[in-house]
């Protein structure tokens, strides 16, 4: 989850899929009645609703929980090492793009063997954990990207945010904002996974495919035109999602591409804001990449241990528990019925629920562990085009040629 960048978790895992596949895991707990849960949420203390939910699920399974929280960039490597040493956790909460990496390494049990059921979860979210027809784990929730807007800036430029339905109308809005003396849009195009993460809604919104990078030419030309026309600042080439948000928080920008994790900051910004979906090239909501974690069961030596771990994992993702967990984690639930409860409690989440419904996993379409080998050339192409080193078409063509 954010504010730690969701996408940057992925690459740390890639080089570590080496010799784990032949290894199985064993309980790490000190006693048979203690089960370990690892998660990427070190910001949540023992008093948090998240940790209380874990403890409730342990109590229902009749065990004591030993929770370990790691920085998300460290968690994958620690899990892979633990699996080699046969000390993997009983339950693992891990970033969704890493699931396929751990599956390839032989670390995770498929749901059919772990006793997990992802049937209540939206299929587009489950896809990130599906490898060769088998599903591994259950999404605990999701976040994704949309466009925040500054109501005063748009009003001053005579722009109705409801008029932004496609790229043409968005460009028209940006032109009016510039003419009114304000700044247009800020986003992250940094040369890391964050840059790819933010580019993907425009790439997919153009109808492009990650197996054919030149098919995203229109999206890269769009971003380049924003810099050339002064609609977006040159700083986007170095912006993280945090620094681009800081630009938006100055109150000078009309739009910012960012995620649900900024909702708390938006309420503190000192100006009225709204949120609209990222538009597709010709209309509709563009598919944005999903952030968020899966609750999974690593392989253990003892089948009874795996079964009990499965009960704990099932509890953590059960509709009667996940609402509290998703609220604590600032996630949109992966379960449609729980999404409805969230919107009833907070109507402003409706646009985010719609964005999540249209989102897709970066490792989906059976890309699995191939995704990082595509993403890195993609963000390199974005950097090359935005800095003027290459034309968008040439940048994407060269990126495709470098995909291994």
Peptide bond before 3: cis, by omega within 30 degrees of 0?
Answer: yes
Q: Which fold has domain 9-142+291-358?
A: D-Maltodextrin-Binding Protein; domain 2 (3.40.190)
Do the beta carbons of residue 9 and residue 98 sit within 8 Å? yes
d(CA 210, CA 216): 9
Q: Express each pLDDT in 164-187 by its tens digit.
A: 999 999 999 999 999 999 999 999
When pLDDT is averaged across residues 43-57 and rounded to a whole number, the result is 93
85 secondary structure, DSSP code: T
- Sign of torsion over alpha carbons 374, 358, 117, 85: positive
Q: What is the pLDDT of residue 20?
A: 38
d(CA 320, CA 114): 20
* Superfamily in which the 145-288+367-402 domain is placed by CATH: Periplasmic binding protein-like II (3.40.190.10)
Q: What is the pLDDT of residue 32?
A: 54
- Sign of torsion over alpha carbons 56, 60, 63, 69: negative
Do the beta carbons of residue 198 and residue 257 sit within 8 Å? yes
Residues 100-128 as b or e (16 or more Cβ within 10 Å = b): bbbbbbbbbbbbebbbbebebbbebbbbb
Band (81; pLDDT cuts 50, 70, 90): very high
- Residue listed under structure tokens 């949420």: 41
d(CA 117, CA 273): 38
Question: Domain extents for the chain?
Answer: 9-142+291-358, 145-288+367-402
Band (330; pLDDT cuts 50, 70, 90): confident
Could you check whether 9-142+291-358 and 145-288+367-402 share the same CATH topology? Answer: yes
| Inter-CA distances, 16 with 86, 308, 374, Å | 16, 28, 17
d(CA 43, CA 265): 16
Q: Is 70 exceeded by the pLDDT of residue 28?
A: no
Mean pLDDT of the residues in the chain:
91
d(CA 75, CA 332): 23
């Amino acid at each position: 989850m954010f504010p730690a960048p969701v996408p940057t978790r992925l690459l740390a895992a890639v080089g570590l899929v080496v010799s784990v596949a032949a290894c199985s895991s064993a309980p790490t707990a000190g006693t048979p009645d203690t089960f370990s849960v690892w998660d990427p949420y070190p910001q949540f203390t023992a008093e948090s609703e998240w940790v209380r939910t874990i403890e409730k699920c342990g109590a229902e399974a009749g065990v004591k929980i030993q929770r370990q929280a790691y920085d998300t960039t460290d968690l994958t490597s620690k899990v892979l090492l633990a699996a080699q040493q046969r000390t993997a956790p009983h339950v693992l909460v891990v970033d969704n793009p890493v699931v396929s990496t751990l599956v390839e390494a032989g670390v995770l049990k498929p749901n059919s063997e772990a006793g997990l059921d992802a049937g209540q979860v939206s299929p587009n979210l489950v896809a990130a954990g599906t490898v060769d027809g088998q599903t591994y784990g259950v999404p605990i929730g999701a976040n994704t990207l949309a466009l925040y807007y500054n109501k005063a800036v748009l009003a001053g430029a005579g722009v109705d945010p409801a008029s932004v339905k496609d790229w043409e109308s968005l460009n028209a809005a940006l032109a009016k904002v510039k003419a009114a003396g304000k700044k247009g849009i800020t986003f992250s195009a940094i040369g890391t996974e964050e840059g790819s993460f933010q580019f993907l809604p425009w790439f997919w919104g153009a109808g492009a495919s990650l197996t054919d990078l030149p098919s995203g030419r229109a999206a890269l030309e769009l971003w380049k035109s924003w810099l050339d026309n002064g609609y977006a600042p040159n700083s986007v080439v170095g912006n993280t999602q945090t620094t681009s948000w800081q630009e938006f928080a100055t109150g000078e920008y009309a739009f910012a591409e960012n995620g649900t994790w900024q909702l708390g900051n938006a309420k503190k910004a000192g100006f009225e804001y709204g949120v609209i979906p990222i538009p597709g090239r010709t209309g509709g909501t563009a598919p944005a990449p999903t952030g968020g974690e899966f609750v999974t069961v690593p392989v253990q030596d003892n089948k009874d241990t795996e079964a009990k771990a499965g009960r704990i994992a099932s509890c953590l993702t059960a509709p009667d528990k996940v609402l509290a967990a998703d609220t604590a984690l600032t996630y949109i639930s992966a379960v449609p019925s729980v999404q409805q409860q969230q919107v009833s409690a907070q109507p402003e989440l409706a646009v985010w629920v719609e964005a999540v419904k249209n989102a897709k996993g970066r490792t989906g379409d059976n890309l699995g562990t191939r995704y990082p080998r595509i993403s890195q050339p993609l963000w390199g192409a974005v950097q090359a085009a935005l800095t003027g080193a290459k034309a968008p078409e040439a940048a994407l063509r060269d990126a495709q040629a470098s995909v291994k």
